[in-house]
Chains A and B, each alone.
Chain A
């Protein structure tokens, strides 16, 4: 039972979307539209005039050096943060207003595990199952625990888990509610090798199912390997935005260095 947005299927099959494409095929509208987004923390501008289209079913690799604003942008996409100005729309709906309903469809995997250490693996997932109003929670929990290889530890406290196990459970938590938009903040950094493989498998499956993925990373080869769309942020501004097949992978590292000083 894998729900997938109908439009996503057709977008996955379609060729990369260029400006001309967009003009001539207006029915391919972006899932998430970011327009003139600005975010400041006091006098410091973290994001300035960001315009971005995120299409359903795409994996967008968000590259950039530390402090470029990748995490800030991701948090705004996750509705954890509000923009200072500008708009961000999900299927035409203003995200800052309809946050609660949209959260059902959005998942975030961040540096923090978002797990309660004083609860068991099962209790953690059961709690989130209620928070997301999941139907048949027990089945889904068992399924996710199987997928991440933790079913024999389901009654153990998360505090007793190794780092790799916590990462796996965090994955299970992020995907529990079958988000149609998955946001990943440098998911591969600091990851156990076994978990890396698991993550890649899960991501491949999600892409098959038409899930929209936005992944931040400062690892260029990885971003190029996975992303169907490459976006580079520098000091809160987008300095590069192109479909993957327009990127020359031999030249890109040099280009990236140039773009990011």
Chain B
């Protein structure tokens, strides 16, 4: 019980901090919206081509925007040595991981929920389906788990936030491919069972990444 309570407290703390400043979510949102627009212009997408490209553009944008949020979230713990405040307390290191990861997941999903309608409009793509929301959630879980771990690493290096995309993007390749394929299928009218293979891959990816990240997190934050 104490474990869950502490995980909840960490999530609540991050949300409270974000509510006070609104820096992180707004930065991600603005960046993501701009990215969508730039993709539209640059690729000169119209009609069928636009629809076909929509899932890829959407997930690429999320991958890039998410990095901003992850960096900010872990940087908050670095400021004033707060992470040491957490390590000093009688808290399981995995509780710290889950607290941060779930919080990051919540922020990124918030941005995605705003992004989906925008992409649906810009690319005339039928993205607003419940099954798509499920795929979005699944795709983001593994991303947030691995991203939290890798952000905790990058924030402790000389290169800081700049290193995170270099570390994270190759690592999310499986999820990216699976999510784009599943979204494309669903968008073109397939049912969830039709894209089950991709969904299963996403679930497998999520399980593996969350497990590995949780197990190695203490080695990253503790000396």
Q: Do chains A and B touch in the complex (CB under 8 A)?
A: yes
Judge if A78 is at the interface, Cβ distance under 8 Å.
yes
Is A116 within 8 A of B89, CB to CB? no
User: B79 contacts which chain A residues (CB < 8 A)?
Assistant: 117
How distant is the Cα of A131 from the Cα of B12 in the complex, in angstroms? 13
How distant is the Cα of A117 from the Cα of B13 in the complex, in angstroms? 11
B-facing residues in A110-134 (Cβ within 8 Å) = 110, 112-119, 123, 127-128, 130-133
Is A128 within 8 A of B85, CB to CB? yes
Judge if B159 is at the interface, Cβ distance under 8 Å.
no
User: A107 contacts which chain B residues (CB < 8 A)?
Assistant: 88
Is B84 within 8 A of A112, CB to CB? yes
Is B9 within 8 A of A133, CB to CB? no
Chain B interface, >50% SS class: helix
Judge if A106 is at the interface, Cβ distance under 8 Å.
yes
User: B81 contacts which chain A residues (CB < 8 A)?
Assistant: 110, 112-114
Is A133 within 8 A of B2, CB to CB? yes
Binds B, one of A62-70, A96-104, A196-204, A245-253: A96-104
User: A103 contacts which chain B residues (CB < 8 A)?
Assistant: 88-90
How distant is the Cα of A101 from the Cα of B2 in the complex, in angstroms? 13
Is B88 within 8 A of A80, CB to CB? yes
| Chain B: CB-nearest residue to A82 | B223
User: A117 contacts which chain B residues (CB < 8 A)?
Assistant: 79-80
Interface centre among A110, A116, A128, by most B CB within 10 Å?
Answer: A116
| Chain A: CB-nearest residue to B12 | A127
* Chain A: minimal CB distance from B88 (Å): 6
User: A173 contacts which chain B residues (CB < 8 A)?
Assistant: 85
Is A132 within 8 A of B90, CB to CB? yes
Judge if A144 is at the interface, Cβ distance under 8 Å.
no
Is B223 within 8 A of A132, CB to CB? no
Q: Which of A118, A123, A128 contacts B89 (CB 8 A)?
A: A128
Judge if B30 is at the interface, Cβ distance under 8 Å.
no
Judge if A108 is at the interface, Cβ distance under 8 Å.
yes
Q: A115-B82, A116-B17 are in contact. List 18 more A-B contacts (CB 8 A).
A: A75-B223, A80-B223, A100-B92, A101-B90, A113-B81, A114-B81, A114-B82, A114-B85, A114-B88, A116-B13, A118-B16, A119-B13, A119-B17, A119-B20, A123-B16, A127-B9, A127-B13, A131-B86
B residues contacting A by CB (< 8 A) are 2, 5-6, 9, 13, 16-18, 20-21, 76, 79-82, 84-92, 222-223
A residues contacting B by CB (< 8 A) are 75, 78-82, 100-101, 103-104, 106-108, 110, 112-119, 123, 127-128, 130-133, 157, 173
- Offer 13 A-B interface pairs, CB within 8 angstroms, sorted by A: A75-B223, A78-B88, A100-B91, A108-B88, A112-B84, A115-B85, A116-B76, A117-B80, A119-B13, A123-B13, A123-B16, A131-B9, A157-B20
